[in-house]
Chains A and B, each alone.
Chain A
Amino acid sequence: MTRHAMVTDLRRCVGCQACTAACNAEWDVPAGYARTHIQHTPVQGTFPDLAAGILVAQCAQCDEAPCLPACPSGATFRDANGAVRVNREVCIGCGYCVAACPYDARYIHPVLKKADKCDFCAPRVARGQEPACVATCPTHAKVFGNLEDRESPVFKLVYDLGAQRRETQAIHVGPHVYYQGKPQQVALVMDAFPPRPPHMPVSGSLWEKVARPVVVGAVGLTFAGQAVAFFHQLWHGEEDYED
């Protein structure tokens, strides 16, 4: 069994954006959008005791990814390696998944008009390569591997060295992007960039809570009405209309 995960070592990350550039180039990400990007926390403390953190943000391929049930057409799916991916040919670009993501890791591609996001470079991984961001990182801050493999570096970083998930008590959806570093650094990042509650656009909520039950009810009632009429017809027999 495979469960791909990624760990970012905040001690090594210098925020150079090489990962962002590599990802943009690999996946033809349009200007102004990103599958992965860098965010800086505010600087804390007083000189010379200053501290700052860098968040390497990307889709966390969550165990309980809110984008999966949000997608009406099933375009969002989980592959055999645990990566959450988008089937562009089925995506209608409704944006429900974008609203549902607690990490704002999705966007609607302005040219393709489909949802787009990091999928741990699944096509590259299928060819036996590392994700573009991992392969490019000049400081080797990013580590990618199989969390189910005891020999994998990510297994050791997560289970032996305590790399952390970006979660809060309220929002814990099982992300598989982990962060490791000095406790102060990690705490800064976790405090500065907590996941937000997943939400659903009004249209999506109305569909689920009002339209679906009403339509199912209306169709069911009509069908039941016709069934009653049909059995009434069977019971009383048919007469030729001319008579």
Chain B
Amino acid sequence: MKTSPIPEHPIPLSGEQVEAMRQRHLKKHHIAIILLHWFNALVWIWELSTGVALVSADRLRVVPVAFIQTLTELAGSRANLMRIHLGLGLTWIAVFLVYGLFGWRTYLSQEVLKREIALDADDMAWLRIRVLGILGRSSESLPPQGVYNAGQKLFALMVYAALPVIMATGLIMAFHLFGTAVVGWAALIHFCAVGGVFSGLIVHVYMGAVFPEEKPAFFSMFSGVVDEVFAYSHHFKWWREMKLKEQAWEVKHDQAVQPDPTKANESSST
């Protein structure tokens, strides 16, 4: 079987190539990751809302009193608000523990993290050009990206660092671990870690759901796949890696299915 050459760097595509690639899809997310993502999104909406409503002291609160009152009334009482926050938080931790246990080698091993979310020189250039581009200050073309772009990687790094902190401090507060002073520090650290992730979430949601160029990435969080045009233009390194793998598999497959000419002769002679 004849295989087409895979370019080492992004090259302009012809109209025919674009049409053909648009029909082909690459699997980007496993169904487990899609479910985890949307479960996580729902949990964050609830936990953020109930969390900020639970910080009601005037000197510390970050939302208007009306928001706190409305949410308290919706929950029925502040005790219920706390129960929802704790119950959902503990469920969230349990789900992520299962994900960590079963998905360790696939998603969390050092090799995978290094390949998928470690920032390289292309990523640093991408960040600079992307920010300037969004603000209309640069028209440079973006460097090729892996399965996740530098923005996604940056957010993932922040989330990977903050999630254990949020979980640990949440557990310390929920079960009053290590004494009163530690609970006081845990409350502060919980607030800071959630605040940091929320800053990133604003960008994540905008880039994922509103920014036009990333819309296929948004839809891939439902379908699990992206078309090859998007993969080629936005995640060239990953596209190339997948195509090389595909090509290697095809070669192996062709060799396996082609009959051995020596054996064919033997069978005809008998």
Binding site for B on A (CB under 8 A): 69-75, 87, 89-90, 92-96, 98, 108, 113, 201, 203-204, 206-208, 211-212, 214-216, 218-219, 221-223, 225-226, 228-230, 232-233, 236, 238-242
Chain B, Cβ-Cβ closest to A206: B188
- Flag whether B87 is at the interface (Cβ < 8 A): no
When chains A and B are docked, how far (Å) is the Cα of A96 from the Cα of B181? 9
Question: Closest CB-CB distance, B220 to chain A, in whole Å?
Answer: 13
Interface readout for B133-158 with A: 1 if CB under 8 Å, 0 if not?
01110000000000000000000000
- Flag whether B44 is at the interface (Cβ < 8 A): no
Q: Flag if B187 contacts A203 (CB, 8 Å).
A: yes
Q: A207-B60, A230-B206 are known contacts. Are A73 and B55 too (CB-CB below 8 A)? A: yes
Q: Flag if A222 contacts B195 (CB, 8 Å).
A: no
Q: A87-B78, A201-B184, A239-B212 are known contacts. Are A72 and B55 too (CB-CB below 8 A)? A: yes
Interface readout for B77-89 with A: 1 if CB under 8 Å, 0 if not?
0110111000000
Q: Which of A201, A215, A232 contacts B191 (CB 8 A)?
A: A215
Residues of A within 8 A of B216 (CB): 241
15 contacts between A and B (CB under 8 A): A72-B55, A90-B78, A90-B81, A94-B187, A203-B187, A211-B192, A212-B59, A212-B60, A214-B195, A215-B196, A221-B199, A222-B203, A225-B203, A230-B206, A240-B212
Within 8 A of A (CB), among B234-251: 234
- Flag whether B56 is at the interface (Cβ < 8 A): yes
Q: Which of A87, A203, A241 contacts B188 (CB 8 A)?
A: A203
Q: A203-B185, A211-B188, A229-B134 are known contacts. Are A222 and B58 too (CB-CB below 8 A)? A: no
Q: Flag if A95 contacts B54 (CB, 8 Å).
A: no
Q: Flag if B184 contacts A216 (CB, 8 Å).
A: no
Binding site for A on B (CB under 8 A): 18, 22, 54-60, 62, 78-79, 81-83, 134-136, 173, 176, 180-181, 183-185, 187-188, 191-192, 195-196, 198-200, 202-203, 206, 210-213, 215-216, 229-230, 233-234
Chain B, Cβ-Cβ closest to A223: B202
Q: Flag if B60 contacts A232 (CB, 8 Å).
A: no
Q: Flag if B199 contacts A93 (CB, 8 Å).
A: no
When chains A and B are docked, how far (Å) is the Cα of A242 from the Cα of B231? 11
Q: Which of A73, A93, A207, A219 contacts B54 (CB 8 A)?
A: A73
Q: Flag if B18 contacts A90 (CB, 8 Å).
A: no
Q: A216-B62, A229-B134, A229-B206 are known contacts. Are A92 and B195 too (CB-CB below 8 A)? A: no
Q: Flag if B199 contacts A203 (CB, 8 Å).
A: no
Residues of A within 8 A of B18 (CB): 242
Of A71, A219, A228, most B-chain CB atoms within 10 Å: A219
Q: Which of B55, B59, B229 contacts A69 (CB 8 A)?
A: B59
Question: Closest CB-CB distance, A204 to chain B, in whole Å?
Answer: 6
Chain B, Cβ-Cβ closest to A114: B176
Q: Flag if B215 contacts A207 (CB, 8 Å).
A: no
Residues of A within 8 A of B60 (CB): 72, 207-208, 212
Question: Closest CB-CB distance, B245 to chain A, in whole Å?
Answer: 24
Q: Which of B57, B81, B135, B180 contacts A229 (CB 8 A)?
A: B135
Of B83, B188, B198, B210, most A-chain CB atoms within 10 Å: B188
Q: A98-B180, A241-B212 are known contacts. Are A74 and B191 too (CB-CB below 8 A)? A: no
Question: Closest CB-CB distance, A162 to chain B, in whole Å?
Answer: 35
Question: Closest CB-CB distance, B136 to chain A, in whole Å?
Answer: 6
Given contacts A75-B78, A229-B134, 6 further A-B contacts (CB under 8 A): A72-B55, A72-B56, A94-B180, A204-B184, A230-B206, A233-B210
Question: Closest CB-CB distance, A123 to chain B, in whole Å?
Answer: 16
Residues of B within 8 A of A214 (CB): 192, 195
